[in-house]
Structure 1
Amino acid sequence: MTNRKKDDARPKLLSGGNPQIPKAEGNGPVQDYIAAMPGWKRDVGQRLDDLIVRTVSDVRKAVKWNQPFYGKDEGWFLSFRCYTNYVQLQFLRGTSLDPMPPKPSKHDEVRYLDIHENDELDEHQIRSWIKQASKLPGEKM
């Protein structure tokens, strides 16, 4: 019975291993999301969170639609989520970044960077995108 209660306390993993975390504002829910990311994806989530915080000191955080969002003022500029074989970094105004992140979206301005288990992160490029994205008008959600 004790093990069952312990298991029930862990977030449910949705399709692709994406943690189901209740919608909430602040660092706490984002850290809960990262802690629930499965396997190697947790390290990627922590690295991304660290990069974002180091790049944008006054960043706002929230979990919405089972993924962490990062923003300034009233708008959001990026998020990430788990898929089966990668973690996807989403730039909400990615078509305004130079250079644009590599993966297009069905949404006009959104661009993605898919990070696979053995990828070497180009932290310099990711920081540049984060810095650029944080200076653009954010998406209201």
Structure 2
Amino acid sequence: MAQTTSKKSAQVAKKVAAKQVDAKPTLRAGGNPQIAKANGDAPVQAYIAAMPGWKHDVGRRLDALIVRTVPGVRKAIKWNSPLYGVEGRGWFLGIHCFTKYVKVAFFRGAALRPVPPVESKDKDTRYFHIHEDDQLNEELVAGWIRQASELPGWVS
């Protein structure tokens, strides 16, 4: 009897876990997907898949550009945002959805050349905003990504 109860409990737990994985993520303010904190590519891909409308394509393009530019890049979701980093150097870039744009945060952006255009309250951080009708200059963004990945990053 105990073995049957244990087996049923395991089956119920497995079904609940499967529903949680298949569930659509909640979108927070600005259409930012709410994804649980986790390390690796899978949670970042879940975030990108949940990015609404045109932002989804921006997320896919950015992720692919980052992976091409920084082979072996580390990925994680922290604070409902994908983070990209280099082992032993910390996080160099984060992405976040807002209502009218996707924000790309370079945590040491003030050291990049040219400097990304949007200032932060933090003197080292600079942002790049991508709006719906913007043409992404992949060469410029790849240059920022490459430079940022070579700097000491943000450690959490």
Matching residue of 1:137: 152
Matching residue of 2:105: 90
CA deviations 1:64-94 (Å, max 9, x no partner) are 0000000001300001110000000000000
SS at match of 2:102: strand
Larger CA Rg, structure 1 vs 2: 2
What amino acid is the match of 2:126? R
Q: TM-score, normalised by structure 1?
A: 0.94
- Are residue 111 (structure 1) and residue 111 (structure 2) matched? no
Residue segments in structure 2 that go unaligned for 5+ positions in a row: 1-18
Matching residue of 1:20: 34
Number of residue pairs matched?
136
What amino acid is the match of 2:69? T
Q: TM-score, normalised by structure 2?
A: 0.85
Matching residue of 1:72: 86
Partners in 1 of 2:41 and 2:34 — Cα distance? 16
Partners in 2 of 1:85 and 1:93 — Cα distance? 24
**Which stretches of structure 1, 4 residues or longer, exceed 6 Å deviation after superposition?**
none
CA deviations 1:11-47 (Å, max 9, x no partner) are 0000000000000000000000000000000000000
Partners in 2 of 1:33 and 1:9 — Cα distance? 12
Q: What is the alpha-carbon root mean square deviation over aligned residues?
A: 1.3
Partners in 1 of 2:58 and 2:77 — Cα distance? 17
Which structure shows the higher helix fraction? 2
